[in-house]
Structure 1
């Protein structure tokens, strides 16, 4: 397959966790993959190395998605290198582990950083990618959100607020960008990943999910399965928010 004929996927925050799982699943399906990262350069290159073993093209691009100029440079690279974009996954995210009741501990700098990455970032990347996505046969945007955007329970108030905003923005973008571009969101519950283990070692994942209908935390590939469904497994689905949470919101 020539480079111009090969579908292309851009995954933000693709160095580790869910982003890495998405990038690998796209590569397994024959996509050329752009691995975006902000700080985890070593892990991003490791993800790219694994993609190369699958025989598909891969690029590694550093860009802070909360900075519009860096986002535009990244999309310029995608256009110049590949000439197309078929799927965008807005996965990059940030948080702090702050007790919700401790309002003073939720600093303005942390608030701005979390909303910058989690809410401004997906908008900036989608805006910069929209023209390229629309030039093909129909593009897909998948936002990796969180059930925290429904429940208001999560690592901190700013994180919950950012994901609630992302859920609403998913619907707004689906209206604005249709019919050429579909926009959906996957909303994970607890994920067994470095995000929680390093962020708050005091959290017991097994205890958190013990009363769920499916009493186990998700793995990054469980979330990537849903992302790939929205990206490649459906043509008439847009503006939808899919919880992948083991039934958390039923409890």
Structure 2
């Protein structure tokens, strides 16, 4: 798909990886809707920075776990830009809870993590996918994690939510074909993100040293893969791992 002039929605667009994705898409000529949950000033800062790409950009507040807010956000994006071609589900939440600490994995934390990381992408995909189907084309890229491929990560809830997101990618690829292609990027350890800031220091060090390359994954590599998945015309339902050589699937 030709990206110049297309409209992209990036949830969590004010985050460490989300910002890189916004800039990567804008560099290709996409207009960008930067979706945030709470950090309005930060999101507006991203919008200002995107101006250097000479594309349209705007910030939109949205709780992705609210069906009404998601629908309103999609409607507002279409009203603002006239169309919606790309959805990047990057918004996520994690909290460091050791796998063995089942008492610490409270019902409330389980629900919050699952709602934001899995139910949210389901709601945004349904709302944006409906617009894309009517337009006759669209691309959706989910940001999962290598935690979704094995029993690792900040908590059991996080690992399960990201595994669910990988399978949601496959299911939505079936549901929205042939007009809309749905794919997924599963990063390993990323530095300079809120998710990594919530990890235990020893987990960060282990993640870095356990990879074949001995370094954290690169956020720009992840953003470039997102762009590739938005361009593709024949790839759907797939998950690509970017983790410096730690996970093979």
- Please, what TM-score do these two structures have when normalized by structure 2? 0.94
Change (3 A) 1:86 1:111: same
Do residues 248 (structure 1) and 246 (structure 2) align?
yes
2:9 aligns with: 10
Deviation at 1:231, TM superposition (A): 0.8
Do residues 109 (structure 1) and 134 (structure 2) align?
no
SS at match of 1:65: coil
Instruction: Give structure 1 regions of 4+ aligned residues with deviation exceeding 6 angstroms.
Output: none
Deviations 1:118-174 (A, max 9, x none): 000001001011122123352100000011111120000000000111111110000
Deviations 1:172-224 (A, max 9, x none): 00011000000011001100123255313523645422242222101321211
Count, aligned residues: 246
1:183 aligns with: 182
SS at match of 1:230: helix
Q: Following superposition of structure 1 onto structure 2, how do residues 113-192 of structure 1 map, counting pairs within 5 Å?
A: 113-192=112-191
Do residues 62 (structure 1) and 61 (structure 2) align?
yes
Deviations 1:221-240 (A, max 9, x none): 121111111112x2100000
2:95 aligns with: 96
Instruction: Measure, in 2, the Cα distance between the counterparts of 1:214 and 1:138.
Output: 38
Q: Which runs of 5+ in 1 are unaligned?
A: none
Instruction: Measure, in 2, the Cα distance between the counterparts of 1:212 and 1:94.
Output: 24
Contact 1:48–1:59 (CA under 8 A) maintained in structure 2: yes
Change (3 A) 1:60 1:150: same
Instruction: Measure, in 2, the Cα distance between the counterparts of 1:186 and 1:197.
Output: 17
SS at match of 1:183: strand
- Please, what TM-score do these two structures have when normalized by structure 1? 0.93
2:36 aligns with: 37
Q: Following superposition of structure 1 onto structure 2, how do residues 221-240 of structure 1 map, counting pairs within 5 Å?
A: 221-232=220-231, 234-240=232-238
- Give the CA RMSD over aligned residues: 1.6
